Amino acid sequence: MDHQEFDIKPYRQAHRNQLIKVWEDSVLATHYFLKKEDFEKIKSVVEHIDFNLLQVYCLLKNNQVFGFLGVSDQKLEMLFLNPLHFGKGLGRLMADFAIQNLECRQVDVNEQNESARKFYEKIGFKVVGRSEKDGLGMPYPLVHMEL
């Protein structure tokens, strides 16, 4: 896949609906461990996020959102990609952007999301800790990673 076809641009309100759809598709493809009611709770939280409060960037091609990332205080708070484009280097493209341009040095990963953990380890992140619950206090352990 030619990565030059894609741009990484700051989030704009016009991207919101596409961004939420990418989040939903990506989570449904990778977070098989979530209970349906927990997924719905998390989705409700995501739908109410003011993405302007974070450094959010969208992976765009022809003004269509293929993925997005969000960084706050050097921590990668979100990186999601349309699952139809997994394995094509686009997640790496976004992660490299976050590291090089936004000085990202930390990320938390759901412990059960083994593919995400391996992805970040391949980039150079190392496990430095663990929490029993996720950021919403739900019973989904997080692995804390740093470059």
Residue 97 one-letter amino acid: F
The answer to whether residue 1 scores a pLDDT higher than 60 is no
22-41 burial, b if ≥16 CB within 10 A, otherwise e? bbbebbeebbeebeeebeee
CATH code at position 31: 3.40.630.30
Task: Tell whether 46 is covered by a domain.
Answer: yes
Sign of CA dihedral 32, 38, 40, 42: negative
Task: Tell whether 125 is covered by a domain.
Answer: no
Over range 68-72, report the average pLDDT. 94
Domain carrying residue 55? 3-104
pLDDT in tens, 93-143: 999 999 999 999 999 999 999 889 999 999 999 999 999 998 888 889 999
The residues near 39 (Cβ < 8 Å, ≥ 6 apart) are 27, 28, 31
pLDDT in tens, 12-66: 999 999 999 999 999 999 888 888 998 999 999 999 999 988 899 999 999 899 9
Task: Tell whether 142 is covered by a domain.
Answer: no
Gap between the Cα atoms of 71 and 41, Å rounded? 22
Give the pLDDT score at 135.
Answer: 85
Task: Tell whether 55 is covered by a domain.
Answer: yes
Task: Tell whether 32 is covered by a domain.
Answer: yes
Task: Tell whether 82 is covered by a domain.
Answer: yes
The answer to whether residue 73 scores a pLDDT higher than 70 is yes
- Domain tally, the chain: 1
Task: Tell whether 111 is covered by a domain.
Answer: no
Task: Tell whether 139 is covered by a domain.
Answer: no
Give the pLDDT score at 4.
Answer: 75
